Amino acid sequence: MEWFTFQSSTESSNNKHHNELYAEKLPVKQLAEQYGTPLFVYSRRALETNFQAYHQAMADWPHLICYAVKANSNLAVLNVLARQGAGFDIVSVGELERVIAAGGDTGKVVFSGVAKQRHEIRRALEVGVHCFNIESEQELERIQEEALSMNKVARISLRVNPDVDAQTHPYISTGLKDNKFGIDIDRAPDVYARAAELSHIEIVGVDCHIGSQLTTTEPFIDALDRLLMLMDKLKTKGITLKHLDIGGGLGIQYQDETIPSPSDYLVTVKEHLVQRGYGDLTLMVEPGRSIAAQAGIMLTRVELIKPAAEKKFAIVDAAMNDLLRPSIYSAWHTIVNTVERPDIESHQYDVVGPVCESGDFLGKDRPLTVLEGDLLAVYSAGAYGFVMSSNYNSRNRAAEIMVDGDQAYVVRQRETIEEQFASERLLPEA
């Protein structure tokens, strides 16, 4: 990863040279000492570069990149992306308010999600989102009712379920017929026809999102072809669309996966659009993970080394409540010692947290050269990291730092114990 690199240490206490991990131009050791651990560290340059990879890939095409807020919704992250011209894909009114608070343009927001509540729909209409990605026929009627009552026109796109297998983890696969997401592509023409009849609905597009952490482009292209077939059908009914949104889902390299770049992927998409006569269609994407994941690491301190009968444990101060992905998806994150230790022996460790669950691990059977008190870095933690954290075991949620060159900014303070239960109340006495 380009923004988190090992560099020769400038200060060497014992005159020995050693390499240590930097975030952009700052040694992470310094960040951990200053702000404590566990600590999420983001790189501004990484976020910008990853966003620009999409932007460049579509520079010759009318497009809108709607960053999926759920991947990392920190206000500073949203703000950095908004300054790059990003739009946003949201799934709740909470995310909408975050976009607004971060200075995002509500006119570039798409509102996805299988059960948008009436108050959420009203707020989105009030601030004028780019469109609603409609996930059911019932929702279409609900949005018509709310738009009518507010005397506004709701721009809509149907999120269709193209029934393709994204070949990813079942929990993050969303484009198969038996998933709860989207409208069956075979039903879509009728739903568009119904939408066309409604007084306060304007049809603007079509979208799909087939899953996350995809490692090949084939499922995307299969889905695209099905969407284009649908558009051909709609054209014969006099319904033309302004945009096509192919969702997010491009994977990242956690371990040894080879992943197509946004450019590889989008070149193919654009070729298909030209071949099929849709050269003037606005192209939209909703990337989350591929923008944020590699822009962040999580730092954690080794509390204890515990040599058990079968294996060694490195017990660290971060846990499943801080980074849930290993526990729920058996996800693999690279874990490194932030200071290279050529002088000691490497062993296999399970890197585990202090939470009272056997599922509380960050990595299993990892070769590490590590001593008690060392600082470890868990890579690829910028997406679906902090946002999935909780207070399980009454642990404070971690702090978040954004590095910009040789500057570090606290973008979320470490939670305190008082904050954890500030909104809880006792029953009255007697």
Ligand X SMILES: *Cc1c(COP(=O)(O)O)cnc(C)c1O
C-alpha to C-alpha distances, 240 to 46, 226, 279, 326, 367, nearest whole angstrom = 38, 16, 13, 44, 56
Q: Does 205 bind ligand X (CB under 6 A)?
A: no
Stretch that binds ligand X, among 5-13, 67-75, 351-359, 362-370 (CB under 6 A): 67-75
x-or-dash string of contact with ligand X, 107-126, rule CB under 6 A = -----x--------------
Q: Does 24 bind ligand X (CB under 6 A)?
A: no
Q: Does 249 bind ligand X (CB under 6 A)?
A: yes
Q: Does 139 bind ligand X (CB under 6 A)?
A: no
CA atoms within 13 A on the CB side of 231: 24
Closest listed residue to residue 392, CA positions, set 309, 341, 322: 322
Q: Does 262 bind ligand X (CB under 6 A)?
A: no
Nearer to ligand X, 80 or 368 (CB): 80
Q: How far apart are CA 411 and CA 69, in angstroms?
A: 16
Q: Does 161 bind ligand X (CB under 6 A)?
A: no
DSSP class of 32: H
Stretch that binds ligand X, among 100-108, 246-254, 266-274, 395-403 (CB under 6 A): 246-254
| Cβ-Cβ contacts under 8 Å for 114 (sequence gap 6 or more) | 135, 136, 180, 181
Tell me the chain's radius of gyration from C-alpha atoms. 23
Stretch that binds ligand X, among 65-73, 188-196, 224-232, 395-403 (CB under 6 A): 65-73
Q: Rounded to the nearest whole angstrom, what is the least distance from the CB of residue 316 to ligand X in the complex?
A: 26
Q: Which residues are catalytic?
A: 356
Q: How far apart are CA 212 and CA 181, in angstroms?
A: 13
Q: Rounded to the nearest whole angstrom, what is the least distance from the CB of residue 71 to ligand X in the complex?
A: 5
Q: Does 70 bind ligand X (CB under 6 A)?
A: yes
| Cβ-Cβ contacts under 8 Å for 94 (sequence gap 6 or more) | none
> Peptide bond preceding 287: is omega within 30 degrees of 0, i.e. cis?
no
Q: Does 247 bind ligand X (CB under 6 A)?
A: yes
Site for ligand X in 86-105 (CB under 6 A): 89
Q: Does 217 bind ligand X (CB under 6 A)?
A: no
Q: Does 325 bind ligand X (CB under 6 A)?
A: no
Out of 289, 333, 395, 397, the only residue in the binding site for ligand X (CB under 6 A) is 289
> CA angle, corner 287, sides to 285 and 289, nearest 5?
170
Interface residues with ligand X (CB under 6 A) are: 68, 70-71, 89, 112, 209, 212, 247-249, 286-290
